Amino acid sequence: MIFPAHCKEVGYDAGHRPCGERVYFLTRYIIRETEDGHEVLEVELDRTGTGLMRKVTGLRLLAAGDDVVCYPDRVQLHDRRGLVEKALRSGRRCTIFTGYDEHTSFVLDPDLSGFLRLHVYDIEPPRPHLAATIRDLEACGLFGDLEVVFVEHLRDIVGIDADVFPCRAAGFSRTLDADAVHSGDRVAGCMTGRDLVRECYGEAFELENTCPLSLVAEEPFIARCCRSEREGVGTYDGKFGAVVHWGATPAAIAGAVTEVVRRWRCDGADSGR
């Protein structure tokens, strides 16, 4: 797959060449308009040149004709996973994209196999805060440089056979934050919910653990947990990943994603597990 690291590496030739055959010194690829459609070329520049505009010493055709398609809508060029997926759905070897700011880029021979799969563990309802925040951040291109595919593992706690559920925000009829727990009740909750019930009502209840961290089966991962002592990047029950607090800020979530990916790749976790 060829997917330029940044749109500044991609030039666009619509036939207007005020500087003649010279191109911007950062250019590695050119998208050129022709009578038969677009063609995508790799550029070699004069390495001895100086200044902003450089002489082209070589061109290599990468794709042209029916192999090339232009994506019809403006996109977030930094959402690299999203663009590769769009390119895969196009059915063509090369898909040209135009960003919201009118910069251009392309994906040639799209392939997600080189992207790291980061497993996201969360529960719903209500809104799965961790998974939903990651979706929002990814859509604005924040994780583009990481080249990560987020694999969601969301547990729907509506299906749990329980008498009492964690909180009224999810719309349950009986919840720990609004109703009393009776002897023999089956409670859906986490470690904090367990401690709350024990402190207020004693031991006569059964707990169905809903903590996302208890669901982890793949690595690397990121999960949500309300126990602050569990926060951070490390190994949990033999699986490497990150834990963020229940109400973590988008900045904290982004930082945790970046750190777990960095350590997984740089510390060799992906080659030794």
Chain centroid to CA 263: 17
**Cβ-based neighbour number of residue 195 at 10 Å:** 12
Q: For 4-28, what is each residue's pLDDT tens digit?
A: 999 999 999 998 888 888 999 999 9
CA dist 62 to 29, 43, 181, Å?
9, 10, 67
Token match 């109703």: residue? 179
Taking the C-alpha atoms of residue 116 and residue 146, their distance in angstroms, rounded to an integer, is: 8
**Residue 111, strand partner residues:** none
Q: Please tell me which of 10-24, 201-215, 227-241 the model is most confident about, judged by mean pLDDT.
A: 227-241
Put simply, whether the predicted model's pTM sits higher than 0.85 gets the answer yes
Q: For 108-164, what is each residue's pLDDT tens digit?
A: 999 999 999 999 999 999 999 999 999 999 999 999 999 999 999 999 999 899 998
Chain centroid to CA 116: 10
β-bridge pairing 104-108 and 94-99: antiparallel
Report pLDDT for 269.
Answer: 57
Helices and strands in the chain, H and E counts: 4, 15
Binning pLDDT at 50, 70 and 90, where does residue 273 land? very low
